[in-house]
Chain A
Amino acid sequence: MFKKYFTYGLIIVALLGSIVVDFPGVANFLGIGANFKVRQGLDLQGGTQLVYQTDISKVPLGEEDDSVTGVVEVIRNRVDSLGVAEPVIQKTSNNDRVIVELPGISDINEAIDLIGATAQLEFREGILDKSIDANGQILSSNYEDWADVGLTGANFVKAQVQFDQSQSAVISRPQIGISFDAEGRDKFAEVTGRNIDKPIAIFLDNEILSAPTVQTKIDSESAVINGNFDIEEAKLLAIQLNAGALPVPITLISQNNIGATLGSEAVEKSVVAGILGLLLVMLFMIFYYRLPGILAALALVFYTLLSMAIFISIPVTLTIAGIAGFILSIGMAIDANILIFERMKEELREGASLLVAIEQAFKRAWSSIRDSNFSSLITAAILYGFGSGTIKGFALTLGIGILVSMFTAMTVTQVMMKLMANSSLKNKMGLWINGWNGGKV
C-alpha cells in the first residue's frame, strides 16, 4: 500500500516540478526566479567556436600544462573585455588545444583579432653591426637582429594610456605607461645599465614599436613606451597588455561561426519536427491500442515535460543534434508501451482477467524492455565517450531520454492502466483491445 502511494506521490511531484521548470510563465506566477531556460548550443543561438593550437615546443619540460592553462586565462581576460555572455574557454584533455565558445557574439572578426593578438611585448638590446653600429645608430628594425634580454610582458604589473607631457611634444600624444614587477625592475636596470648611449628596442608581436636611446641606467618600477599610435590603438594595446601576453604562440586551427539567422531557423524547424513526430506517435498509439494507447499518449506528454525539465535542470546544452536525439527518443520511448500492450493482449487471449493481464504484462515485458533499451544505452554511452561536441549532445539527450522513458512507461502508464482497470471501464473490452472477440484466438 505504501509503495502504491509513494509511486503516486513521485509521479505528481515530478509532473508539477516539470511544469514549473518548463514553463517560465508558471515559475513567474509562483514567484520563483525565472532562471529556468533551455541552454542553447551555438548552432541554435548563433555564435562562434574557435579552436586554437598552442605551440609548446619552446616551453621547458614539465611546464607545458601550465603554459596552456596560462593561455586559457589570458584568453578569458580578453574575452571578458568583449562582454560576451557565458563564454566557454577550456583546454582539451590531451593535445594542448584551447576551445573558445562565444555564444551570440555580434562581431566575430573583432573577437578573432583580439584573441589571436599575441600582444607579446618585448624589450631587446642591439647587436653590434647587425642592428646597431658603434655610434648607437640603428641599422635594422628586424626582430631577429636584436638580442633577447628576457624582459617581456610577463614582467608587467600594469599598463595604462598616458599622454606625452614633455615640452618637446607639440601635440600631447598617447603613450603607454607600464609598471614592472620586482624581477622586471631588476632586469630593466641591468639592461639599461649596460646599454647607456645605445638604443634598446621595444617589440610588439615581433614588430618594432620604438627604439629609444638609453640616457642613464633606469632603476625604477615604471617606464614609458612611445609609438606611432592614436588613442584607440593605445587603449587596445593597454587592454592587451593588461590581459597579459599569451605565454606561448597560438594558431587558429578550426573555426565555426553560425549566424543567428541560421540558428533561429534551426530552432523553429526542430520544434515543428518534434511536435509533428510526437503527434504522429500519439495518433498511432491511440488508433492501434485504443484506451491503453490514450494512456500511453498521455504518458508520452509527461515524458516530454519531464525530459525537458531534466535538460533545463542539469543543464544540458541543446544543439540541433541534441534535439534530434531527443525527438528520436520519443519514438523509442513508446517502445516499452508497445511491448507491454502486446504482452497484455497475449495474456488476455490466454484467458487472464484484465487486472491480472495488466499485472503480468508489466512483469513479463520488463526483461525485454530492459534488454532492448540496454543496447541503445550502450551505443549512447560509447558515442558520448568518443564523440565530439555535436555527437556528445546527441548521445546525451538520447541516453537521458531512454532512461526517463523507462521510468514513465513502467510507472506512469502502469498507474493509469490500473486505475482504469479498477473503474467501470473494465467491462468494456472493446476499449482495451481493438476487435476483442471474447478471448478466442
Chain B
Amino acid sequence: MNIVKYRAWWLGFSGLLVVASLAAIFTYGYRLGIDFAGGSNLEVQLREINTEALGTGLEEYLVTTYKDVTGFDTAAQSTGEDRYLLKSQVIDNDTKNEWISTISANMAVDELRFETVSPVIGGEAVRKTILAVLLAIIVILLYLAYSFRKVPKPASAWRFGVATVIALTHDVIILMGTYAILGQFFGAEVDAMFMTAMLTLLGFSVHDTIVTFDRLRENLIRQGGDNFATKVNNSIIETITRSINTSFTVVLVLLAMVLMGGGSIFFFTLSLLIGIIIGTYSSIFIASMVLLWWQTRAERSLLKQ
C-alpha cells in the first residue's frame, strides 16, 4: 500500500475542507451559549393544555405571553413532547414565576430547568476559556518539542513539530467550520462545553501523530538505504492499525453517547466525535505528508547548492 504516492490528493482534499470551513466560519459565525453571553434559559413541561382557550398556536402563545410578562423576545424551542425551552436575555426568578403563573391559567406547568447567568459572569468565562486554550497550546508545543528531541539528521525536530502543529490547526479549523454549520442549521451554541471538546481534542489528536512520528524516528535510525518517502510510508503502514483502532474505540463510546446520552451533552459529544475522526485522518494523511513535502524540498535545495 502506497499512501505517500497520493499525497497531493490528501493535501488537496484537506485544503478544500479547510477553505470550506473558513467560509462557513465567516459566513455563519457563532451563537454564544448562555454561559458566555449571559441570559436566561427556561425549560418547561406542559400538561393538560386547554388548546381552545389559547386563541393561537401553542408556541405562539408561549412566545407572546413571555414577551408580555418579561419584555423580552424569545423562541419556543421544542425539546420533547409538550416540552419547550425558552431563551432570552436575563430575567429574574420573580419574573419567571410571574410568567409561569400567567400561562398556568391555560395549562399545567412543570418547571424543569431555569438557568440565568449575568453577562458579567459570561465575560469572565470567555476570558478564562481563552487563557485555558492559550495555555493548552503552549504546553502541547513544549510537549512536542520534548517528544521530538531525538530525531536524527537530516530530519529535524523543528519540522516534526511544525508538521504536527499544522495537522492540529487543520483539525481545529475543520471542527470549528463544522460547528458553525451545526450552529446555523441545528442551533448548536459555542459554550464552555464546546471549548472543552476542543481542548480534549487537542490533547487526543497529537498522540496519534506522535505514535506515527515515533515510528518514523525509529525507522530513520534502523533502515539505512531507503529514501525518506519510503520510510514515511513504512511508518504509516506499520502504525495505521493502531492509530485507527485506538481512535475507533473512542468513536464507539462517543457514538453511544451521541445516540443515547441525551440533549444536554449532544453537541459536546458530537463535536468530540467529529474532532476525533478528523484528528485521526490528519495524523495519518496530513502530518506525515506535510513533513514529507517539506523534507523533500529541503533536500532538493541542499542538492542544488
Given known contacts A255-B93, A338-B242, A391-B192, is B254 in contact with A331 (CB within 8 Å)?
Answer: yes
Q: Which of A121-129, A236-244, A261-269, A419-427 contacts B (4 or more CB under 8 A)?
A: A261-269
Interface flags for B250-263 (1: CB within 8 Å of A; 0: not) read 11111111011110
Question: C-beta contact mask, A260-284 vs B, less than 8 Å → 1, else 0?
Answer: 0110011001101110111011001
Closest CB in chain B relative to A115 CB, distance in Å: 11
* Cβ B143 vs Cβ A391 within 8 A: no
Q: How far is the CA of A259 from the CA of B121 in the complex (A)?
A: 23
Contact B261 A273 (CB under 8 A): yes
Q: Given the complex, which residues of B lie within 8 Å of A280, measured CB to CB? A: 252-253, 255-256
Instruction: List, in ascending order, chain B residues with CB within 8 A of A265's CB.
Output: 262
Interface membership of A371, Cβ < 8 A: yes
Assembly CA distance A330 to B124 (angstroms): 33
B260, A259: Cβ atoms closer than 8 Å: no
Separation in Å of the A262 CB from the closest CB of chain B? Answer: 5
CB-nearest residue of chain A to B93: A112
Whether A255 lies near B260 (C-beta < 8 A) is: no
B245 and A338 contact, CB distance less than 8 A:
yes
Are B250 and A273 in contact, CB atoms less than 8 angstroms apart?
no
B250 touches A328 (CB 8 A): yes
The answer to whether A386 touches B128 (Cβ under 8 A) is yes
Instruction: Judge whether B277 is part of the interface by a CB distance below 8 angstroms.
Output: no
In the complex, the answer to whether A332 meets B250 with C-beta atoms within 8 Å is yes
Residue of A nearest to B260 (CB): A273
- Asked whether A327 is an interface residue with its Cβ less than 8 Å from the other chain, the reply is yes
Contacts of B67 in A (CB 8 A): none
> Per-residue 0/1 for B177-195: is the Cβ within 8 Å of any A Cβ (1 yes, 0 no)?
0000000000000001100
CA distance A129 to B207 in the complex (A): 79
User: Within the assembled complex, what's the spacing in Å between the Cα atoms of A375 and B206?
Assistant: 7
Residues from chain A with a CB closer than 8 A to the CB of B248 are 284
Instruction: Tell me if B211 is interfacial: C-beta within 8 Å of chain A.
Output: yes
Is the Cβ of A321 less than 8 Å from the Cβ of B254? no
The reply to whether B203 and A387 form a contact with Cβ atoms under 8 Å apart is no
What class of interface size applies to chain B in its complex with A? 35 or more
Q: Which residues of A from 373 to 395 have beta carbons under 8 Å from B?
A: 373-380, 382-383, 385-388, 390-391, 394-395
Q: A378 touching B140 by the CB < 8 A rule?
A: yes
A390: chain B residues within 8 A (beta carbon): 192-193
Interface size class of A (residues with CB under 8 A): 35 or more
Known: A320-B264, A391-B193. A284 touches B242 (CB 8 A): no
A193 shortest CB reach to chain B, Å: 43
Residues of chain A lying within 8 A (CB to CB) of residue B118: 53, 253-254
Would A253 and B196 be within 8 Å (CB), given that A280-B252, A328-B250 are in contact? no
Query: When the two chains form their complex, are residues B260 and A331 in contact, meaning their CB atoms are under 8 A apart?
Result: no
Q: Which residue of B lies closest to A288 (CB)?
A: B245
- Choose from A257, A338, A342 the contact partner of B113 (Cβ within 8 Å): A257
Q: How far is the CA of A8 from the CA of B124 in the complex (A)?
A: 50
Check A254 against B253 for contact (C-beta < 8 Å): no
Given contacts A266-B262, A335-B246, contact A259 B113 (CB under 8 A): yes
Q: Does B110 contact A (CB under 8 A)?
A: yes
> Are the C-beta atoms of A258 and B204 separated by less than 8 Å?
no
Q: Chain A contacts of B74 at CB under 8 A? A: none
Contact (Cβ within 8 A) B256 A276: yes
Q: With A and B bound together, what is the CA distance between A396 and B192 in angstroms?
A: 16
Report yes or no: B136 in contact with A378, Cβ–Cβ below 8 A. Answer: yes
Chain A CB within 8 A of B199 CB: yes
Whole-angstrom distance between the alpha carbons of A395 and B214 in the complex?
27
Let me know if B105 is at the binding interface, CB within 8 A.
no
Asked if B237 is an interface residue, CB under 8 A from chain A, the answer is no
Determine the distance from Cα of A381 to Cα of B176 in the docked complex, in whole angstroms. Answer: 23
B45 A261 Cβ-Cβ under 8 A: yes
Name the A residues within 8 Å of B112 (CB-CB).
Answer: 258-259, 261-262
- Could you list which residues of chain B lie within 8 angstroms of chain A, going by C-beta atoms? 35, 43, 45, 92-93, 97, 110-118, 120-121, 124-125, 128-129, 131-132, 135-136, 139-140, 143, 147, 192-193, 196, 199-200, 202-204, 206-208, 210-211, 214, 238, 241-242, 245-246, 248-257, 259-262, 264-265, 268-269, 272
Query: What are 8 A-B pairs at a CB distance below 8 A?
Result: A257-B115, A266-B264, A285-B249, A324-B265, A342-B241, A379-B136, A385-B132, A391-B193
Supplied contacts A332-B204, A382-B132, 12 more A-B pairs, CB within 8 Å: A53-B118, A253-B121, A261-B110, A272-B260, A278-B253, A281-B253, A320-B265, A339-B242, A346-B238, A377-B203, A383-B199, A387-B132
